[in-house]
Structure 1
Amino acid sequence: MSDIIHLLPDSIANQIAAGEVIQRPASVVKELVENALDAGATLIHIAIKDAGRTLIQVIDNGKGMSATDARMAFERHATSKIKSAEDLFALHTMGFRGEALPSISAIAQVELKSRRQDDETGTLLIIAGSKVEKQEPISCAAGTSISVKNIFYNVPARRRFLKSNETERRNIFSEIERIALVNPDIEFILTENDVQTLHLPKSGLRQRIVQLEGKNINPQLIEINEETSLAKIYGYVGKPEFARKGRSSQFFFVNNRYIRHPYFHKAVLSAYEHLIAANENPLYFIYFEVDPSVIDVNIHPTKTEVKFENERALWQILMVTVKESLGKFNAVPTIDFNTEGAVDIPVFDPTKSSPMPKVNIDPNYNPFRSPQAKHYSPNAPVQGWEELYKGFQNEGKAPETITDEMQQPDLSFHSTGEENGIVLTPEHYQYKQRYILTSVKSGLMIIDQHKAHVRILFDKYIEQIKGRKGVSQRVLFPEVMELSATEAATLPAIMDDLEALGFELNSLGNHSFAVQGVPAEIENPDPGALIHSMISQSMQTGSDVKSDIQESIALSLAKLTAIPYGRTLSIEEMLLMVNQLFACQIPSYTPDGQTILTVLSDSEIDKKLK
Structure 2
Amino acid sequence: MPDIIHLLPDSIANQIAAGEVIQRPASVVKELIENSIDAGATQIQVIIKDAGRTLIQVIDNGKGMSATDARIAFERHATSKIQKVDDLFSLTTMGFRGEALPSIAAISQVEVKTRREEDEIGTLLSISGSKVEKQEAVSCTKGTIISVKNIFFNVPARRKFLKSNESERRNILMEIERIVLAHPDIEFLLFENEMQTLQLPPSVLRKRIVQLEGKNINQQLIKINEETTLGKIYGYVTKPESAKKSRASQFFFVNGRFIRHPYFHRAVMTAFEHLLQPNENPAYFIYFEVDPASIDVNIHPTKTEVKFENEQALWQILMVTIKEALGKFNALPPIDFDREDAVEIPIYDKSKKTTMPKVNIDPNYNPFYTTQRNSYHHSPPRFDWETLFQRFEKDKPTEDKIKSSSQTNSDLFDSTDKKNAHSENLPGHYQYKQKYILTSVKSGLMIIDQHRAHIRILFDTFLEQIKNKKGVSQRVLFPEIIELTPSEAATLSSIMEDLQAVGFELNNLGNHTFVIQGIPSEIGTSNPIPLIQSLIEKRTETALDVKSEIQESIALSLARLTAIPYGKTLSPEEMTHLIDQLFACHLPNYTPDGNTIISVISDDEIEKRMKLL
| TM, length-normalised to structure 2 | 0.83
1:121-160 to 2 correspondence within 5 Å? Answer: 121-160=121-160
Opposite residue 517 of structure 1, the aligned amino acid is: G
Residue in 2 that maps onto 1:196: 196
Alpha-carbon offset, residue 266 of structure 1: 3.2
CA deviations 1:432-459 (Å, max 9, x no partner) are x344455667766554433333232222
State the secondary structure of the residue aligned to 2:535.
Answer: helix
- Partners of 1:334 and 1:457 in 2: CA distance: 49
Residue in 1 that maps onto 2:205: 205
Greater mean alpha carbon deviation, residues 248-257 or residues 48-57: 248-257
Opposite residue 6 of structure 1, the aligned amino acid is: H
Residue in 1 that maps onto 2:164: 164
Instruction: Return the match for 1:430 from 422, 429, 432.
Output: 432
1:83 equivalenced with 2:94 (yes/no) = no
- Partners of 2:237 and 2:407 in 1: CA distance: 63
Residue in 2 that maps onto 1:514: 515
State the secondary structure of the residue aligned to 2:420.
Answer: coil
Residue in 2 that maps onto 1:325: 325
- Partners of 1:472 and 1:94 in 2: CA distance: 50
- Partners of 1:491 and 1:317 in 2: CA distance: 38
| TM, length-normalised to structure 1 | 0.84
Opposite residue 539 of structure 2, the aligned amino acid is: S
- Taking only aligned residues, the RMSD between alpha carbons, in angstroms, comes to 3.2
Alpha-carbon offset, residue 600 of structure 1: 6.2
Alpha-carbon offset, residue 517 of structure 1: 0.9
State the secondary structure of the residue aligned to 1:409.
Answer: helix
State the secondary structure of the residue aligned to 1:3.
Answer: coil
Alpha-carbon offset, residue 476 of structure 1: 1.5
- Partners of 2:607 and 2:35 in 1: CA distance: 70
- Aligned residue pairs, count: 558
Percent identity between the two aligned chains: 69
1:136-535 to 2 correspondence within 5 Å? Answer: 136-339=136-339, 341-342=340-341, 345=344, 407-409=418-420, 427-431=429-433, 433-437=434-438, 446-535=447-536
CA pair 406-237 structure 1, distance change in 2 beyond 3 A: closer
More helix as a share of residues:
2
- Partners of 2:26 and 2:290 in 1: CA distance: 27
Contact 1:42/1:62 (CA < 8 Å) preserved in 2? yes
Residue in 1 that maps onto 2:391: none
User: Between Structure 1 and Structure 2, whose CA radius of gyration is higher?
Assistant: 2
- Partners of 1:295 and 1:604 in 2: CA distance: 67
- Partners of 1:518 and 1:409 in 2: CA distance: 38
CA pair 321-592 structure 1, distance change in 2 beyond 3 A: farther
Alpha-carbon offset, residue 343 of structure 1: 5.0
Opposite residue 254 of structure 2, the aligned amino acid is: V
- Partners of 2:63 and 2:431 in 1: CA distance: 75
Alpha-carbon offset, residue 161 of structure 1: 2.1
Contact 1:394/1:402 (CA < 8 Å) preserved in 2? no
Alpha-carbon offset, residue 426 of structure 1: 5.2
Opposite residue 516 of structure 1, the aligned amino acid is: Q
- Partners of 1:95 and 1:223 in 2: CA distance: 30
- Partners of 2:407 and 2:148 in 1: CA distance: 86
Opposite residue 419 of structure 2, the aligned amino acid is: Q
Alpha-carbon offset, residue 73 of structure 1: 0.7
- Partners of 2:109 and 2:607 in 1: CA distance: 73
1:8-87 to 2 correspondence within 5 Å? Answer: 8-87=8-87
CA pair 523-263 structure 1, distance change in 2 beyond 3 A: farther
Question: Unpaired segments of 5 or more residues in structure 2?
Answer: 361-401
- Partners of 1:588 and 1:305 in 2: CA distance: 46
CA deviations 1:53-90 (Å, max 9, x no partner) are 11111111111111111111101111111223333333
State the secondary structure of the residue aligned to 1:233.
Answer: strand
- Partners of 2:451 and 2:564 in 1: CA distance: 5
- Partners of 1:394 and 1:246 in 2: CA distance: 62
State the secondary structure of the residue aligned to 2:273.
Answer: coil
Alpha-carbon offset, residue 582 of structure 1: 4.1
Alpha-carbon offset, residue 329 of structure 1: 0.9
State the secondary structure of the residue aligned to 2:522.
Answer: coil
- Partners of 1:395 and 1:306 in 2: CA distance: 82
CA pair 544-325 structure 1, distance change in 2 beyond 3 A: same
State the secondary structure of the residue aligned to 2:530.
Answer: helix
- Partners of 1:334 and 1:151 in 2: CA distance: 59
